[in-house]
Structure 1
Amino acid sequence: MRILVGLFIGLLGPFAPAHAERNEVQVHPFPNPIRYTHHNDDFTVRVRVPGGGWKDLYEYKVKVDLDNPSDASMVHFNFDGTVELAIQKNNGMFSKVAVRPESKGLKPVVKDGIAYVTLQRPENLSIEFDDDRRHNLHVFSHAIRRDMPVTAEQSSNDIAAGQTPDLSQKTVFFGPGVHSGEFRLRSGSTVYIHGSAILKNPLILDGVENVKVVSDGLFDSVEMTTIRNARHIEIDGPIFINQPHGTLRCVNSQDLTERNIRTIGAGKWSDGLGHFACERVTITDSFIRTSDDCLTFYNHRWDIWGDTRDVDVSRTTLWADIAHAVMIGIHGNTPSPAHPKAEVLERLRFSNLDILDHDEDDPEYEGALGIMAGDDNVVRDVIFENIRVERIEEGKLFSLKIAYTAKYNTSPGQSVENITLRNIHYSGKGSPSASLIAGRNAERKVRNVVIDNVTVGGKKLTRPEMGTLEITEFVEGVQFR
């Protein structure tokens, strides 16, 4: 349903921008079959345009943190202009409430036991009462999509099983309702997923090109969406909840855009956005909470071969309940007569990221920002910049190393070189161990690392220091700025 409130200040001339004239909120009714199975009663959440009537949101139950499985909550809606949220906690009193990422600068106002938050642009947020990060409220919002096909207004009572569209068509629309089946997409298609649609199976993009997916809807408890041997693919907007493993896997594909992807997972090996031997990848404006690595970039594994290059990740929030926020390089090709070429990961850039938490109990795999070059991989020309890390429950801020693990590797990596860490600020909250830069031997080194304005608890890193930064043998060319 849509609510439109016109806001006129004086007489607007003919050149006044249309978006200045109105606030509008779009709420997506839930499909009736999930009314009781997917609801979490921890919060009552409402939204309105200023001065308008309150509209109730459906609070989805979402699993988080495989180490300590818990039920958190999620709401989603679209809006233009300004909206107000009202969040009522239903299971006891609270003394404080926080909105994260902290960099958004959003301060809730509490009145009569209800927290109010004003949004002036779409955001992806965690709202936490008394620092409870395992029973929090995730708020996902997006601008209203003017290109989404229009459907008749429906209440949740009207929305049951959805009619699966004809996937052979160039334009595919998943309307309101619950959809099951094999969703294998064809080249040249544009797929729209309504905000009241729930898909129970993943999308499959295998050997296709020029495909665009535009989604306000949900993928519920599905295996990974797979992009394989594909080119010119855009995925924009889907929300993934309760997936048993990962969210999205890209294999031997080029020219990928992953935008506005929101995912919350607590399954085993529940990586977020995983990439194997992919080139020209753009990830932006997303929120990834997982119980394994949030973002991964690898080369050879299984029947996958090839290099990774030209990756750009920006304006994204990462939350690793287990493992890394960013993980690069552990899987590759140890040369053999059948496959004599070692593989390369190069030109990866990560900028303007918020890392809400990192927790990893195994010291070998610690690192909110992790490069573990294994299997003769060369990792080079990587930039991490303008990154804010709010908390490390257990783990390291960064780990740059030549790795060998008996579980995953058949050889150590060849080299890690030309790495820049710039304007990275970690609050110091939690129980971190020292960041690490580690080579392996005289033939397998880490080279040319720039640490430029990196702070821990407000203190700038200027040298190796016990408890903060360890640099081992077989590392050369580290500069502090």
Structure 2
Amino acid sequence: MKTPLFILCTKRVPKPEKVDHLFESGKVYNVGTLEVKAGETVYLEEGSVVCGCVSALFAHGMKILGNGILNGCVWHPKEENGEVRPMISLVFCNDVKIQGITMVDGGSWHMVPGACRNVEIEDVNIMSRVCTGDGIDIVGCEDVTLRNSFIRASDDCVCIKAASYPDPAANRNVKNILVEHCVLWNAEPGNGVEIGYEVRCDEISDITFRDLDIVHCQQSGGVLTIHNADRAYIHNIVYEDIRVEDAQAKFIDIKVLDSKYSLDRSRGRVEDIFFRNIEILNGNFPVSIIRGFEMHTEMSWPQNIHFDNVVVLGEHINSPSDLHMVVELSNDIWFNGKVHVKRI
């Protein structure tokens, strides 16, 4: 899998009448950092290659459209991380649309909306190869939809955070995020679908991951993971209709913990998590973990976690042991309507 062939199918995105930044087919551009303002439209024609980054601040109503390629290789040496900047950085941007483009070989995270609202991301392709090459990080945002996209990331494919990157303003609550109809490939470090580690806000809620095909989750990461390493109350998270072809390390990994990424002095909570119609089709039978946090001055136990119609390699899962799951410092773990780890 070191030299895969990617055949990417994306709907054609027609050029709108109003285009403020046009990149023509058959041409290669080096834009450095393209600053996009409110109401502007960037259009990459099919066959165009744009080397550089896109940055937007308070750019309400901006759009990035087309079937061209945004290339990040100019920002870093081959096989090494580059300057820490996202290929697409959106800060305080509302009513945003990104559709059709392909992003390749960024030096760090690829697409990062931070402190944004009403963001629609559709039919994008992302392929990275360097460590920390996250696909899409949704940081401190509300009302974001990601659909019909392919992400092959050398770190987290899709990640939900509240953190100071891309801007300190993104240390804010996260709500109403929908990720659906996507194909994901997590390579080397990181996780397939992640919430954490940086969750420096009061609340992360109403997140749905639906109708996903996770073709690989390689090496040390997990497929569906929540790592609460700060103070956030993480709840009402739904994973449903997800198919996994290859999980080499961990399947479900939910932890409340103090980590090297933690800045908040207190630990948050993880509650009301729902897994429905999830299946691992091939490969290994990976372990799963649910683990809380307990010190002499503080305690946070994940609770009310539901598993309904989970199937691993043809085996219907009815208990933590069926799922090869380690459960520590946790309450109210339910399988198909029956509680197996009950609060005392």
Is TM-score (shorter-chain normalized) higher than 0.5?
yes
2:140 maps to what in 1? Answer: 277
Matches within 5 A, 1:21-420: 133-145=1-13, 147-148=14-15, 171-176=20-25, 177-181=27-31, 182-220=33-71, 221=73, 223-301=86-164, 303=168, 304-322=170-188, 323-333=190-200, 342-361=201-220, 366-393=221-248, 395-411=249-265, 413-420=267-274
1:446 maps to what in 2? Answer: 302
SS at the partner of 2:299?
coil
SS at the partner of 1:429?
coil
State the alpha-carbon separation in 1 of the partners of residues 176 and 277 from structure 2: 21
SS at the partner of 1:452?
strand
Between 460-469 and 174-183, the greater mean CA deviation after superposition:
460-469
State the alpha-carbon separation in 2 of the partners of residues 464 and 360 from structure 1: 23
Q: Is the 8 A contact 1:329 1:379 kept in 2?
A: no
Indicate how the Cα distance of structure 1 residues 460 and 466 shifts in structure 2: closer, same or farther if over 3 A, else same: closer
1:437 maps to what in 2? Answer: 290
Q: Which has the larger radius of gyration?
A: 1
Q: Is the 8 A contact 2:11 2:100 kept in 1?
A: no
Q: Per-residue CA shift, 1:47-76, capped at 9, x if unaligned?
A: xxxxxxxxxxxxxxxxxxxxxxxxxxxxxx
Q: Is the 8 A contact 2:11 2:123 kept in 1?
A: no
Identity of aligned residues (%): 21
Indicate how the Cα distance of structure 1 residues 466 and 409 shifts in structure 2: closer, same or farther if over 3 A, else same: farther
Q: What is the CA-CA distance between 1:287 and the residue it aligns to?
A: 0.4
Matches within 5 A, 1:416-427: 416-427=270-281
Answer 1 or 2: higher relative contact order, Cα 8 Å, separation at least 6: 2
Q: Is the 8 A contact 1:213 1:234 kept in 2?
A: yes
2:320 maps to what in 1? Answer: 464
State the alpha-carbon separation in 1 of the partners of residues 197 and 261 from structure 2: 11
Q: What is the CA-CA distance between 1:329 and the residue it aligns to?
A: 2.6
* Structure with the higher strand share, 1 or 2: 2
1:158 maps to what in 2? Answer: none
SS at the partner of 2:95?
strand
CA RMSD of aligned residues (A): 2.0
State the alpha-carbon separation in 2 of the partners of residues 149 and 347 from structure 1: 33
State the alpha-carbon separation in 2 of the partners of residues 298 and 356 from structure 1: 23
Between 342-351 and 308-317, the greater mean CA deviation after superposition:
342-351
State the alpha-carbon separation in 2 of the partners of residues 170 and 262 from structure 1: 22
Q: Is the 8 A contact 2:12 2:67 kept in 1?
A: no
Indicate how the Cα distance of structure 1 residues 428 and 149 shifts in structure 2: closer, same or farther if over 3 A, else same: closer
Q: What is the CA-CA distance between 1:410 and the residue it aligns to?
A: 4.5
Q: Per-residue CA shift, 1:297-354, capped at 9, x if unaligned?
A: 1113362421111000000011110220111032133xxxxxxxx5211000000000
Q: Is the 8 A contact 2:12 2:100 kept in 1?
A: no
Q: What is the CA-CA distance between 1:143 and the residue it aligns to?
A: 2.9
What code does the residue aligned with 1:415 have?
Answer: R
State the alpha-carbon separation in 2 of the partners of residues 387 and 205 from structure 1: 33
Query: What TM-score do you get using the length of structure 2 for normalisation?
Result: 0.86
| Number of equivalences | 315
SS at the partner of 2:258?
coil
Query: What TM-score do you get using the length of structure 1 for normalisation?
Result: 0.62
Q: What is the CA-CA distance between 1:377 and the residue it aligns to?
A: 1.5
Q: Is the 8 A contact 2:12 2:66 kept in 1?
A: no
What code does the residue aligned with 2:335 have?
Answer: F
- 5+ unaligned residues in a row in structure 2: which ranges? 76-85, 337-344
Q: Is the 8 A contact 1:404 1:411 kept in 2?
A: no
